[in-house]
Amino acid sequence: MKRFSTLLLAAALTAFTLACGYNSPSTTPAVAGNVPTITALSPDSETSGGAAFTLTVNGTLFSSTATINWNGTALATTYVSANQLTAPVTAADIAAAATVPITVTNPAVAGTGGSGGYGGSGGTLAETSAPMDFTVN
């Protein structure tokens, strides 16, 4: 009798699941996001050993959560517009002569429904601009 009850319960659950149209959650892969582009840096150079300053990055397709990266390290970035970001650069960052690659990253955006769950999209991938060189003389 116990075996019959177990089989009956399993059959009922299967029928309920199929009748309701439920299936396992789908995972929709993330899609490409907007790739930002840098058109100008201001300033585009500083003298080594100089004082801290604010770097302005002009370009296109900056998200409101974009970050300026100094040699691959994210700076505390302020969003001005979809075409301009600013960030403080410390005196330690320009202590020695160097050519520093500057990039902008638009972070990944999670899809609706959490992590690509039932009925949701997979969101967008993080995208980083091509680098533009900053010169420390």
Token pair listed for 35: 């790739």
> How high is the pLDDT of residue 110?
84
Q: Are 85 and 68 in contact (CB under 8 A)?
A: yes
d(CA 53, CA 112): 39
Provide the pLDDT confidence category of residue 131 given band limits of 50, 70 and 90: very high
Ordered domains of the chain (ranges, CATH): 26-136 (2.60.40.10)
> How high is the pLDDT of residue 57?
98
What's the pLDDT tens digit per position in 83-127? 999 999 999 999 999 999 999 999 988 875 544 444 456 688 889
d(CA 47, CA 134): 11
What's the pLDDT tens digit per position in 44-70? 999 999 999 999 999 999 999 999 999
d(CA 47, CA 12): 76
Cα maximum dimension of the chain: 87
> How high is the pLDDT of residue 116?
43
**Is the pTM of the predicted complex or chain greater than 0.75?**
no
> How high is the pLDDT of residue 5?
53
What's the pLDDT tens digit per position in 7-42? 455 555 555 545 555 554 555 566 777 899 999 999
